[in-house]
Chains A and B, each alone.
Chain A
């Protein structure tokens, strides 16, 4: 079983989500298998924000959806408040959906264009909440207000009458109306301007405090992830490379891939040193035939024989900072 270990998992009663050895595979042509997520483990404490970063195709969205059992993972365990979700029947899982909500990257297309904002936000309540329309509206109005959308004018308007940033606020409202424990935010600001991005990030921080939310925040922008997250997990080709408190991770990255991501991030600073030599391909290998041993080895400047043969396991760098690498940039405590 190719897993990167679970030394980094924490104990304690305030763990809301605990994922162990999560594996998601998809069938591919010719009887092959897409190894989208291959044995990753993490946990999230109540009120914490966990950031997931990594390049396109590394399995971030698949991980987020697997928490919701969409689809149910190929293997491993997903626990919500101690309850094993992978064992639930479909109807039982549907009942648990109110606890975990997901918001997506493309705010406009994730809202039904033919329905009014009032209806879109109230929709989940028809099944799960109060059904009396005045009670529903009172709840919807208070939440629209909390996300900065004027409830009265939104009641009868439709998504196309709103900007991308406003639509993202509306989809956040729709997630909040269920009073979830956890919200999985899948690249919620990637399609937005920096100005709107800042508005939404600030708002998420406020909502988190107001509603006591726990967040899993998926993004590929390192600065965005650092800003919003308490802890950050770096993913590569279906594996977890490194997990740490976010300030620590950025101060002392231990995985060569984390370092590469940081070196590539365009800081708005003309004095920033740019590594001009990086022009080579460095294409991500296929998740159908991932490299043996360490999956990053085809792009890693430190790769050696050991990396090709043996998969690195998570080991501790410092308190709460773990890396899966045979030759980490920071020496682990032994």
Chain B
């Protein structure tokens, strides 16, 4: 799996050749590795035509994994746009498809049992259906990715300096010394102290936060127009997380770069993004500008996620409103709404009819009883009086906040 990640980050030269040699390695599922980039006859509905002004326009994207004849619907009809200089946050629980989504967009398919359909337009160019060779032209210079674990994109036995300069020289026509100067400059950008000296470090000689900054330097090296950051700070201390998010935000603004910030933490995206898309079981269930989302969550899942987070503004021992149960099996989704078994508002219609994404004032949500509607209030009250286990958290919350839900 690692070699895809190397290439995605645009690691180059020797690294790349070495990695190609590892192609014969057996993938995890035991089958032979065949890159499949299959296009199904997905229909993009007319109401959801690509936005020609967007830097990235994703329409009805689906990535399904074939597991013993069943389709694991990891990404199932996702659409969104990212504009120049803007940041989109993608939030959701573990396993909801965030990473598969980012990789599908970049075209880094990792598994032989994957098939992807739909449309991904980068500056108007369709990427779905392009071969690896063509896609590679986009990696590094157009789009780059920062992964959760810096060690998946750094080579442990090669000095940081060489990793940087080889990457630079693969993409730019630079002499060795020019590449070296640029590498120092990049490390300075990402605020690594004593950058000249650091070039001779191996990755293990740096702290986790520093390694992640090196990965960001590599990702930014060719000034990509679009950066995917997949949980770039999840493994780091809050202080380092804060620095790295600041750094990404600064670089993004300075370069007018588009950014997709993937995380499970609503706190991370709250102050760092222009828009937020909330994912559940392979689908976007709510999407809005960050301020609109936080001032009025419409989807019960978004609200439940928000409620379950402990907050420093609340007194100690505040009872948390936990979401009951776990996300559904992506290979056997229930009919109707896939959040139904965990939803405090659930009504019979939810299990019969799958809610479609609807948009009101640029705020989209897929729910029969959107939060804030009178139907939703009535449904919740009924569920609480009926003692439905999944409404317990909401009941606690209602009690604590005397009937208000902010």
Which residue of the partner chain, among A56, A221, A260, contacts B208 with CB atoms under 8 Å? A56
Assuming the contacts A195-B93, A283-B193, asked whether A264 and B308 have C-beta atoms less than 8 A apart, the reply is no
| B241 x A266 contact (CB < 8 A) | yes
Q: Which of A229-248 contact B (CB under 8 A)?
A: 229-230, 246-247
| B238 x A195 contact (CB < 8 A) | no
Question: Residue A193 at the B interface, CB < 8 A?
Answer: yes
Question: Residue B78 at the A interface, CB < 8 A?
Answer: no
Minimal beta-carbon separation of A216 from chain B (angstroms): 16
CA of A193 to CA of B98, assembled, Å: 14
- Interface-side segment among B103-111, B122-130, B156-164, B264-272: B264-272
Assuming the contacts A278-B242, A278-B243, A283-B193, asked whether A194 and B265 have C-beta atoms less than 8 A apart, the reply is yes
- Cβ contacts under 8 Å, A112 to chain B: none
Which residue of the partner chain, among A164, A199, A223, A278, contacts B310 with CB atoms under 8 Å? A223
Q: Which of B283-302 contact A (CB under 8 A)?
A: 290-291, 294
Question: Residue B362 at the A interface, CB < 8 A?
Answer: no
Question: Residue B361 at the A interface, CB < 8 A?
Answer: no
> Interface range on chain B: under 10, 10 to 19, 20 to 34, or 35 or more?
35 or more
- Cβ contacts under 8 Å, A247 to chain B: 315-316
Assuming the contacts A193-B264, A270-B271, A270-B290, asked whether A198 and B323 have C-beta atoms less than 8 A apart, the reply is yes
- Cβ contacts under 8 Å, B315 to chain A: 247
CA of A201 to CA of B207, assembled, Å: 30
Which residue of the partner chain, among A195, A221, A222, contacts B322 with CB atoms under 8 Å? A195
Minimal beta-carbon separation of A297 from chain B (angstroms): 16
Question: Residue A163 at the B interface, CB < 8 A?
Answer: yes
Select from chain B the residue with minimum beta-carbon distance to A267. B267
Minimal beta-carbon separation of B92 from chain A (angstroms): 9
Which residue of the partner chain, among B191, B264, B266, B310, contacts A281 with CB atoms under 8 Å? B191
Assuming the contacts A194-B265, A198-B320, A276-B250, asked whether A270 and B270 have C-beta atoms less than 8 A apart, the reply is yes
| A198 x B270 contact (CB < 8 A) | no
Question: Residue B374 at the A interface, CB < 8 A?
Answer: no
Question: Residue A197 at the B interface, CB < 8 A?
Answer: yes
Assuming the contacts A56-B237, A276-B250, asked whether A267 and B270 have C-beta atoms less than 8 A apart, the reply is yes
- Cβ contacts under 8 Å, A282 to chain B: 239, 243
CA of A201 to CA of B319, assembled, Å: 9
- Cβ contacts under 8 Å, B314 to chain A: 227
| A268 x B306 contact (CB < 8 A) | yes
Which residue of the partner chain, among B208, B316, B322, contacts A199 with CB atoms under 8 Å? B322
Q: Which of B301-344 contact A (CB under 8 A)?
A: 304-306, 308-324, 326
- Cβ contacts under 8 Å, B192 to chain A: 281
| B270 x A269 contact (CB < 8 A) | yes
CA of A277 to CA of B249, assembled, Å: 11
Minimal beta-carbon separation of A301 from chain B (angstroms): 14
| A205 x B317 contact (CB < 8 A) | yes
| A261 x B316 contact (CB < 8 A) | no
Question: Residue A158 at the B interface, CB < 8 A?
Answer: no
Question: Residue B394 at the A interface, CB < 8 A?
Answer: no
Minimal beta-carbon separation of B4 from chain A (angstroms): 25
Select from chain A the residue with minimum beta-carbon distance to B273. A270
| A272 x B316 contact (CB < 8 A) | no
| B309 x A220 contact (CB < 8 A) | no
Minimal beta-carbon separation of B262 from chain A (angstroms): 14
**Chain A residue total in the interface (Cβ 8 A):** 51
Select from chain A the residue with minimum beta-carbon distance to B191. A279
- Cβ contacts under 8 Å, B207 to chain A: 283-284
Assuming the contacts A56-B208, A220-B238, A264-B242, asked whether A280 and B191 have C-beta atoms less than 8 A apart, the reply is yes
Minimal beta-carbon separation of B26 from chain A (angstroms): 21
- Cβ contacts under 8 Å, A246 to chain B: 316
Question: Residue A142 at the B interface, CB < 8 A?
Answer: no
- Cβ contacts under 8 Å, B323 to chain A: 195, 198-199
| A195 x B308 contact (CB < 8 A) | yes
Question: Residue A137 at the B interface, CB < 8 A?
Answer: no
Select from chain B the residue with minimum beta-carbon distance to A245. B316
Question: Residue B247 at the A interface, CB < 8 A?
Answer: yes
CA of A283 to CA of B201, assembled, Å: 16
| A227 x B242 contact (CB < 8 A) | no
Beyond A199-B323, A270-B270, 18 additional contacts (C-beta under 8 Å) are A55-B239, A193-B93, A195-B308, A196-B326, A198-B308, A198-B310, A201-B320, A220-B238, A226-B310, A227-B320, A228-B316, A270-B290, A278-B239, A278-B242, A279-B246, A279-B247, A279-B250, A281-B192
25 contacts between A and B (CB under 8 A): A193-B94, A194-B265, A194-B266, A194-B305, A195-B93, A197-B308, A220-B237, A221-B310, A222-B238, A223-B311, A229-B316, A247-B316, A264-B241, A266-B241, A267-B311, A267-B312, A268-B294, A269-B271, A269-B294, A272-B271, A277-B246, A278-B242, A278-B243, A281-B191, A281-B192
**What are the nearest 9 A-B pairs in CB distance?**
A266-B267, A198-B322, A227-B310, A198-B308, A264-B242, A198-B320, A264-B238, A268-B266, A195-B323
Interface residues of A (CB under 8 A from B): 55-56, 163-165, 193-199, 201-202, 205, 220-224, 226-230, 246-247, 250, 260-270, 272, 274-284
